[in-house]
Structure 1
Amino acid sequence: MTTVSGTVQERIMLPPSAREGEADSASALTARDVWTMFRRRLVLIVVLFVLFTGMAVGGFLLWWFKFPGYRSEALIACISNIPRAELTPEQARLRQDEYERFVLTQAALLKSPGILSEALKVTAVRETQWWKDIEKRRWKRPNEHLIELMDELNAGPVRGTNFLKVSMVCRNPKDPAVIVRAVVNQWYDTVKQRTASEFADSALTAARQELDELDREIEDKRHRLQELATRLPPGARTNPENNVVSQRVQQLSQQVTQLQLELAELEQFRDFYNDPSGLAATAEDRAWVEQDPEVAGLRQGLFLLRQQRAADERVYGPGHRILKQLDAEIAAREKELEQLRMQKLEERRQDAREAANTAYENTLHALYLAQENLAKAEAALQDQDRLLLENSNLETDIEQSLEYRKQLVEYIKGLERVKAQRTAIDVHIAQEPTDPLERYSPNPLLLVAGILLSIALSVSIGLGLELVDTSVRTSQDVVRHLNVALLGLVPDTDDEEIPIQRVERAVRDAPHSMVAEAFRGIRTAVQFAAPAERQRLMLVTSPRPEDGKTTVACNLATALAQGGRRVLLIDANIRRPGVHKVFPGREPKGLSNLLIGDGTLAQLAYTTDVDRLDVLPSGPASPNPAELLAGEAFHALLREARDQYDQVLIDCAPVLLASDPLVIGPIVDGVILVVRAKQNSRGIARRALTLLGDVGSHVFGVVLNAAQVARGGYFREQLRAYYEYQEGADTSHRLP
């Protein structure tokens, strides 16, 4: 007889909502989940928002008052005098490309160290506040003014126009116009005599050098292509799949396959002839033996003796002495003949063994040679494939290089045409730099962006901390990450408004507390978790110590007893018992004594101050509690308790520290796993559930213990509503 009530399939399993779509529920976050996490981290998010916003506003104000920026700019017009009617569309495109290149060259020339050094020698520039601020620096690099000017001065073409824009930003509104004017004037004095043909000279020289390098590169690739052609076997380029090397690989592969088949067949013959017990003489072997001269001569002599005996028997009659001598001689000859036959047969077998071994060794040697040749041929085929790939890449590169060379030749012709026309580009200052009318930096929109970035960072950090926290804290964590039913949540006693001296006796000592009400809710959930006959024996355990399993077991037993059921609470945590401290007994004996035959359930169980609640303490410590709990005595105890009580609760050791729960789990109706909020990680809880499931335990669900009140938590509103409902108008115990 077993204490397991029905098969595992007959038990009431988890609700579909807790089991279906396990992969999705463990990872998908809903909008409600995100909102809950946001509320839970709202204080942190607000603090971070205030901090980041303060930093953004402070930095913006510091930038506004201490490091303002005022910008001044000048425009330089670069206009070509070449008549458009003289150019074809292709020549017009070429001219535009050259014009844009010329403008970019002028921008680079304007920021060259030579132009800027001459501009810095102007007296007006040395009298600016920008110059004086650099002079006041304690640590200065060599040519500090030049380096700063190169970094702060901007020069570039204005898209869609013929203008080259030169600008600079300074802290003093009077400085940028002075510096930009000095730089532009110095540049204008340098380049006003230059023409487009001068620029075309340098561009033409660079293009011709590039063409020469390209020709050398094409010639090198063609030379390499010729070298590859000499190294490749005949027909490899025209027919890579069927050439000399490929055919040799195929032939050697077929040869190796044929030799492997022959070797397998010879190996069977060799094993056959080398096994004396399995070797039987064939008709062919016996015929060969009989044809042997010695055997034939001995057989002929035996035949003559037998004829002589027949003749003597007619003469002398049966039983004569001479007949007996002949019978003895015939028997000796027959024995000699049989021995000779066996000898000759063994010689035949030995010859067959030697022939089989010789053929096997020869074939094996041929196979080794063929495999070695095949490996060499395959290596040659790989080299051929590599050379073919390199050959193909070279041909493609040569084609691309020839196409690019064609374009480069056209480009050079265009440059020569521009140079031959000897037309100038008109360069003049279209707009002199002026003092700025308003502040250029910082832009007020940056303050708005800083505030928005502060909001984003605050929310991201708050939600990120929530996501990286792997502890089990809420009912959503239980359902989403553990995929089991949630039987109930027990609030932390620190959030309880009614003082509770011992939380293990909360249902008994503080029946009007929220903690007691939570255990009564767990009692109801357990009663609906399975039919009454499928919840008679329940095991209460937890992943680790200090998770509150004894607290849950004692309070749940009290709540069940107060509900009218006759309850037995068994302390099966022989390693570290705790139930006897909650319900003190009359003697130290208990479960361990009962399991070794020292007492009975009626003798060792005692009543408590809770009606209909009996307790069986753990008894003295045992060196092998798992072996005791796995014995027949414990099974008999559960059968007896099941007959005498309506409900039996078993408090046991933690799952991850002892094997006791894994021994008891499969023989009870169900298991209640206690998980402590913020103390147990999801991995630890999942590991405990996996261990219980691997041994066939049926888990009724999880009790989340010590769930704390927090913004966005689960008991803040419940606690407030619960006590307001009980106290009516008295709201002195209201939470903030």
Structure 2
Amino acid sequence: MEEKGFLREIFNIVLIKWHIIAASIIVFGIVGLIYSFSKSPVYTAFSILQVEEPINRRTFLEDLFLYGRPSRVDTEMEIIKSRSIAERVAKISMLDVNVKEIKGDLSFKIKKLQVDKKFLGVPIKLVVKNNCTEYSAFVNGTRLSNEEFLIEFIYCKGEGEALVYKNSFEDVVNEIKNGIKTEKIGEATNLIKVSFSWTDPIKSAEIANIISEVYIDFNKEKWTEDISQTMDFISSQLDKVKEQLKESEEKMDAFRKTYGIAEISKEAEGIIEKLSELEKEKTEIEIELFQVRRAIQDMDKEPSKILSSSFDDPVLQSLVSKLAELDIKRYSLLQKFTENHPEVMEVSAERGELVEKIKEILKEKEKALTSRKKGIEEFINKYEGEIKNYPEVERNLLRLARNLKVNEDIYTFLLTKYEEVRIAKAASVGNIKIIDRAIPPSSPVFPNKKKLLLFSVFSGFLFGFMISFLIYYFSDTINSPEEIESSYKIPVFGVLPEVRNNRDSAEIEIDRKLKETARILKTTIFFSPISEKMRSFLITSPLPEEGKTTVLRLLGDVISEGSENVLLIDGDIRKRGLTKIANLEGKMGFLDAIAGSSIDDTTYEFKGTLKIMPSGSQNLFIPSLLESKKTEELLSSLKNLYSYILIDTPPILSVVDTLILSKLVDGVFLIIAPYQTSRAHFAKAIKLLKNVNAKLIGCIMNKVLIRRGTYYYYYYLYPEEGKDGIWKKIKRRKKDEV
């Protein structure tokens, strides 16, 4: 029930403050429309890429360069959005160059444009002559030198002029980076949707395709960079060994020509064979040492590059995969936080520790390889020493044969390794494919005028409701009958809905429900133990515009239905609202009767048994007239003639007239308008009535918005006799709802 009551109160706020909410919706809607029409449209084009794992044969060297990633697609998505890709795209797309206002028959496409920094973003007038063989550039009439302006054309035809703008390359890179979006398509696929947003639909599709192409090239470079370096190293070794082999062959030929054909003993042949195997193993260790040392350098300069190398060591493999995970996590966090954020700092610290651990393992591996190489060199020196024991001629022959055999075997070994690396490189290329190329979009994605208008209207409603709620929450107005009864211990006899009527008209539009409400009010008043024997009532309110005259008019109408003689007196001498309703302005009335005129001359028939005594001649009014004994005598005489007398008086806090008349009647009704009458004014009105010993019977709430489900709907629902009956009915209704 509490939740239902809260919702009713919320709905009531909307009804009461509808004009604030409506104004807020209109303002927000207009702002949304202005914004949507003032913004340049943004178009988004997209291409679809497929990420494939490279196919490998798992040779020794391929194990050094191919690695397993924790989430290949996620990693590639982050790479596509990286600054490296954006810079390459900016250089190819030439988005930092704008050309406008081409004059003459000039037609050209710019390949390269260099402008001095002070002219960035400044319109430069380009003048082309002699069929593009001559050109000059001007800024505000001043010709630029070749150091300040340099342009290269892909093609150029004709002659003429054009305005050329060169924007900051950094700004363009940032715009491209911010415009690139990636999205994984599906959960179990390796498909990536690469989209790019720009103000030109054709340009957006062009840039989206350039991004895909640049990324594919970048990916090829990334996968083959380490292998290429190893190929270069092996190639340089091949050239060196080839020269040594050639030199060895020439020396052997020269020896044979000098000494003839010489045979080598089987023992010597064994020494040469062992030296050849040792030299080959030493060369293999040197290649592996080269790769390990390069990996250590990468860890010192750019640790993430180690991800393009992998080793047979399972521990190192695990650490490399963990480093890849931390790099992805750190990059994702940096999209939302700064370097100093606790989460980023925690990941960076963990990453730093992991990098040091990998470097430690690599250095241990380097140390082990160096030790092996040193051991092999010791064996080589040992066998070299054995050769020295042979005679000089045979010793020279053995050395020549040894050098020839070693160089032949090393050259063959290097050729084999070079072919393995070449195959590994070929297997790593082409693992990214373009499935769908981007096409120019037909409609912009921003601003979406329909969604923006709906959002503006919804925001306006929320803002208006928030303002209305704050006004309601912090207002000092009386909002419910229960507040009056619990806080001030004054009974509320009923509520009346708001009536829109012309105060200058003699008739008030009274529908059936309104009349029923007035009858409930009448029954509540005259069957109440407080007021059942009272016959004269004063109707007033704390402040103007709370509807006291309308309430008096309605009560008079329903009371007179029972053939009761009812007299309505317009005691509001200054405003004369009741007099205007009855069209009795200028007629004799209340003031005249006090001054001595007869009652018959100052009362007028209005409707059936209902009569009206207008305010009377205004020139007779002086404040002391109401305080005279004649006023009391007049009211006593009227009580003998009429069953009920209802007096309309000015607001209590406006003038003293009401307080004077309140002492001369049986009871006073205070009219309260919810969300309008302040608590301070209400309390002051009660205090003033108590000060003059007026009998305040209770309150009537007027100008209430009656809607099904609202708080006041219960007061408006049942025509029960007696106030207690109404409250019992309300409580019973609430109990039934539960």
Range class of TM-score, shorter chain: 0.3 to 0.5
Task: Name the structure where helix makes up a greater proportion of residues.
Answer: 1
TM-score scaled by length of structure 1: 0.43
**Higher relative contact order structure (alpha carbons within 8 Å, sequence separation ≥ 6):** 1
TM-score scaled by length of structure 2: 0.43
Task: Name the structure where strand makes up a greater proportion of residues.
Answer: 2
